[in-house]
Amino acid sequence: MAHDVQNQMRTKTEFEYTRRRSADEMRGQVTTFAIMIFLTLIAFTAVYADFSPNLVVPIILLLAVIQVIMQLYYFMHMSHKGHENAKFFLFSGAFVAFLTVLTFVTIIWW
Amino acid sequence: MDLNTKYTPQSWPQHAENSTLEGKNKFVGFWLFLGGETTLFASLFATYLALKNKGPEGMEFTTQELYQLPLVFIMTMLLLTSSLTSVYAMYHMKNYNFKAMQAWLMITVLLGAAFLGFEIYEFNHYVHEGFNYSQSAFSSSFFTLVGTHGLHVLIGLGWFILLMLRNSKRGLNLYNAPKYYIASLYWHFIDVVWVFIFTVVYLMGVAG
């Protein structure tokens, strides 16, 4: 189980730089969270406001997709380097998901 | 080198979650798993959409009269906030602050448990109204979809609690940092699924 890990003491400047960078990232994530709360509020309000379903449904679906993309890219760090595999796996899954749902709501009927 | 080596914040690797081979493998394997989970939930969503409001002749249950949006709104806020608190936990993991990480995970677990409590209340309420699992095609597909998500929340809570207990005396090292990181990815994924559940099941159910 012992793997080769290069143990490197970072210099003080490097250390402070990475600290500041991760604090910046954390601030960005809090902003992302605020936007996600806001999107949720819009979605619930749109349904409460009793507009036509033809208008409301596309809007709330779009809001959900935006919120999920934020969750994936900022909370799950998919925007970072080294996530090529992650993106491939997840988007393949999402593609299959899209086809499955499309099939069940169009081709299958009762 | 020994995986139990103690670090200082300054010597702690910048990407502790995948600086070992084992960490890298966990990372890739877990994202593959999440791709699979996506298709699992897709089949459940598709089944629900196909069977929504379908049931025996004269069934009085419809999405419009069943769902209560205030409850769903509270649950959404709880889960969304717990997603942020686990981001805070990973922020402290990166800074090699074990105590703060455990504390934020504890808050995450409490929020998740509150979410689960509301869900159990909701299911219990439906069953008492006569909307039980075998009542109709609609009820089966609803309980399977939302229940599978609830099961994921339960597993996530157990996972966090076991990790926190197992490592409480040990502190952070390169052996357990990937484990914490993966568990938090799982927790975010649970929130991703919930975003679609509250939109597709509850909001679209009430909007018509």
Chain A, window 25-54: residues with a beta carbon less than 8 angstroms from a chain B beta carbon: 25-26, 29-30, 33, 36-37, 40, 43-44, 46-48, 53
Mean pLDDT in chain B? 94
In this prediction the pTM is: 0.93
Residue A109 has pLDDT above 90, yes or no: no
A69 vs B contacts (CB less than 8 Å): none
> Cβ of A10 and B11 within 8 Å?
yes
What pLDDT, in 10s, does the model give residues B98-133?
A: 999 999 999 999 999 999 999 999 999 999 999 999
Residue A4 has pLDDT above 60, yes or no: no
Q: Residue by residue, what is the 3-state secondary structure of chain B?
A: CCCCCCCCCCCCCCCHHHCCHHHHHHHHHHHHHHHHHHHHHHHHHHHHHHHCCCCCCCCCCCHHHHCCHHHHHHHHHHHHHHHHHHHHHHHHHHCCCHHHHHHHHHHHHHHHHHHHHHHHHHHHHHHHCCCCCCCCHHHHHHHHHHHHHHHHHHHHHHHHHHHHHHCCCCCCCCCCHHHHHHHHHHHHHHHHHHHHHHHHHHHHHHHC
Chain B, window 39-58: residues with a beta carbon less than 8 angstroms from a chain A beta carbon: 39, 41-43, 45-47, 49-50, 54
